[in-house]
């Protein structure tokens, strides 16, 4: 709740900061300060929910889980600001507005982490989505950015329509918007609700870009200004998952019907994994590769949703953290390069060893190699699926896909370390290096001691 209020207010404040502060550096500092305040405010709420969540007017339910997820999202955003905050200036004039939009997205995410009413789910998803449409098109003169924005907008609005129809049909069947009372996994479900659920699953899959509702993702991620792609494909995506997870775990679980939802979703997951990974293999641009990899990673996060158990909840937190930090890191380095293709990385290890090491560790984390956070993230979601009991085929598939993912992640490493080249690199400041080291440390610490994060749950 604190996170929601503080981020929303920060957004408004930053809008006004943009009016009165001309220096873009200062705006960045404002944003960083605001996100730190939000982070602290969010944590300050932890003691009050430690023994059990509380519900506000049947709309929002603040739980430990929600607070923790907000902490992860805010932390990742802080890292993002530290690493890429100065890239905002390159996109366009309205730096403060971009920051403000990001804060609004964060408000949406914190709502997504704690909704207990379908209305709030809808609002959360919209608050997350609409600023993204703008951010995607922030580079106004760039046709690719334009296209990304338009595509994202049309697809996003379309999926919103579908989501709403789903919600309405469910409401028609159940007579309530409260997710704890819906009971969609029960023994029998009203036919209206059946249609509603399917529409809803589709729409949410859309938002988290699960196959076959992913087709907008690569184009949008590729076309958007890189600095925003970085945020969209990480924190925001995690926010989508948290909404999905809450919905699924509260309303869809328990009961015989829930197996059918699990089946639908596991097919979606399988498709996501296969398509995401195989497409990523064939990309020439690292940015686009990361776009597809984000689809593939979405497949892994879907495990947490399907499994509907405690392990999955922990997994999605850890996965969000690991995936966000690592991807933000890779993007931060990518933005420092002139050439976004794999060749652009050739010989980076010679020229900028720290950057190369950082990218290597982040990619290790994405691939799920031990002692990086990504390993435990994958571990938890796979565990969740195995614990579920009926998803072993999916787990094996996921493992095969993880091996494929190594292929495209390591192409970057190979380019950096084993190939000759002279990559064009922008000036690297000390602050950037420090932030990068912080990110590396986070990845490694979470990789060694995931309980540092999970002990809060």
Window 21-50: residues binding other proteins (CB under 8 A):
none
Query: In the bound complex, what is the minimum distance in angstroms from residue 70's beta carbon to other proteins?
Result: 21
CB-CB contact of 311 with 383 (8 Å): yes
DSSP 343: G
Pick from 59, 60, 8: which is nearest to 37 by CA?
8
- Assess 429 for contact with other proteins (CB under 8 A): no
Examine residue 263 and tell whether it contacts other proteins (CB under 8 A): no
* Cβ contacts of 57 within 8 Å, gap of 6 or more: none
Q: Which of residues 223-262 bind other proteins (CB under 8 A)?
A: 223
Q: Are 432 and 361 in contact (CB under 8 A)?
A: no
Output 82 or 193, the one with its CB closest to other proteins. Answer: 193
Q: What is the DSSP letter of 425?
A: B
Output 148 or 208, the one with its CB closest to other proteins.
Answer: 148
Classify residue 440 by burial, with Cβ atoms within 10 Å: 0-12, 13-18, 19+: buried
Of residues 75-134, which lie at the interface with other proteins (CB under 8 A)?
Answer: 118-119, 122-123, 126, 130, 133-134
CA distance 152 to 143: 14
Does residue number 424 form part of the binding site for other proteins (CB under 8 A)? no
**Residue 54 or 407 with smaller CB distance to other proteins:** 407
Q: Report the site for other proteins in 361-420 (rule: CB under 8 A).
A: 364, 368-371, 375, 379, 382-383, 386-387, 392, 395-396, 399-400, 402-403, 406-407, 410, 414, 417-418
* Per-residue binder mask for other proteins (CB under 8 A), 313-342, x = binder: -x----------------------------
DSSP state of 115: B
Q: Find, among 405, 400, 393, the residue nearest to 327 by Cα.
A: 405
The distance of Cα 221 from the centroid of its chain, to the nearest Å, equals 13
Position 162 contacts other proteins (CB under 8 A): yes
Residue 442 found at the interface with other proteins (CB under 8 A): no
**How far is the C-alpha of 65 from the C-alpha of 454, rounded, in Å?**
10
Q: Which residues inside 193-222 make contact with other proteins, applying CB under 8 A?
A: 218-219, 222
Under DSSP, the state recorded for 405 is: H
Q: Is 288 in the site for other proteins (CB under 8 A)?
A: yes
Residue window 4-23: x/- pattern of binding to other proteins, with contact defined by CB under 8 A: --------x--xx--x----
Contact range with other proteins by CB under 8 A, out of 39-47, 69-77, 164-172, 422-430: 164-172
User: How many Å from the N-terminal Cα to the C-terminal Cα in the chain?
Assistant: 17
């Amino acid at each position: 709740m604190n996170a929601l209020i503080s981020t929303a207010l920060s957004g408004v404040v930053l809008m006004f900061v943009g009016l009165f502060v001309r220096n873009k550096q200062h705006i960045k500092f404002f944003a960083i300060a605001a996100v730190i305040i939000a982070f602290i405010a969010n944590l300050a709420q932890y003691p009050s929910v430690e023994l059990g969540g509380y519900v506000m007017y049947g709309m929002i339910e603040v739980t430990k889980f929600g607070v923790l997820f907000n902490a992860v999202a805010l932390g990742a955003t802080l890292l993002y600001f530290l690493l890429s905050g100065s890239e905002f200036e390159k996109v366009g004039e309205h730096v403060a507005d971009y920051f403000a939009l990001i804060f609004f997205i964060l408000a949406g995410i914190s709502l997504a982490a704690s909704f207990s009413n379908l209305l709030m789910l809808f609002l959360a998803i919209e608050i997350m989505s609409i600023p993204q449409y703008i951010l995607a098109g922030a580079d106004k003169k760039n046709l690719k950015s334009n296209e990304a924005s338009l595509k994202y907008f049309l697809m996003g609005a379309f999926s919103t329509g579908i989501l709403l129809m789903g919600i309405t049909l469910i409401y028609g069947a159940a007579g309530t918007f409260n997710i704890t009372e819906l009971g969609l996994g029960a023994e029998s479900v009203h036919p209206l609700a059946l249609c509603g659920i399917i529409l809803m699953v589709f729409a949410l899959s859309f938002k988290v870009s699960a196959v076959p509702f992913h087709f907008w993702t690569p184009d949008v991620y590729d076309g958007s200004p890189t600095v925003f792609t970085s945020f969209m494909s990480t924190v925001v995506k995690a926010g989508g998952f948290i909404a999905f997870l809450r919905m699924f775990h509260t309303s869809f679980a328990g009961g015989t019907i829930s197996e059918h939802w699990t089946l639908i979703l596991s097919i979606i997951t399988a498709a996501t994994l296969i398509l995401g990974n195989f497409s990523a293999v064939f990309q020439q641009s690292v940015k686009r590769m990361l776009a597809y990899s984000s689809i593939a990673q979405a497949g892994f996060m879907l495990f947490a949703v399907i499994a509907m158990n405690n392990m999955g909840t922990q997994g999605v937190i850890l996965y969000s953290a690991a995936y966000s930090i690592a991807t933000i890191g890779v993007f931060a380095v990518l933005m420092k390069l002139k050439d976004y293709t794999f060749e652009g990385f050739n010989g980076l290890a010679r020229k900028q060893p720290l950057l190369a090491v950082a990218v290597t560790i982040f990619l290790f984390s994405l691939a799920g190699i031990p002692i990086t956070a990504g390993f435990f993230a994958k571990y938890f979601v796979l565990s969740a699926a195995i614990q579920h009991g009926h998803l072993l085929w999916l787990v094996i598939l996921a493992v095969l896909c993880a091996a494929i993912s190594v292929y495209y992640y390591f192409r970057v490493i190979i380019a950096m370390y084993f190939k000759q080249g002279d990559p064009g690199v922008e000036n690297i400041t000390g602050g950037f290096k420090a932030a990068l080291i912080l990110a590396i440390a986070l990845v490694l610490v979470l990789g060694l001691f995931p309980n540092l994060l999970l002990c809060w749950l």
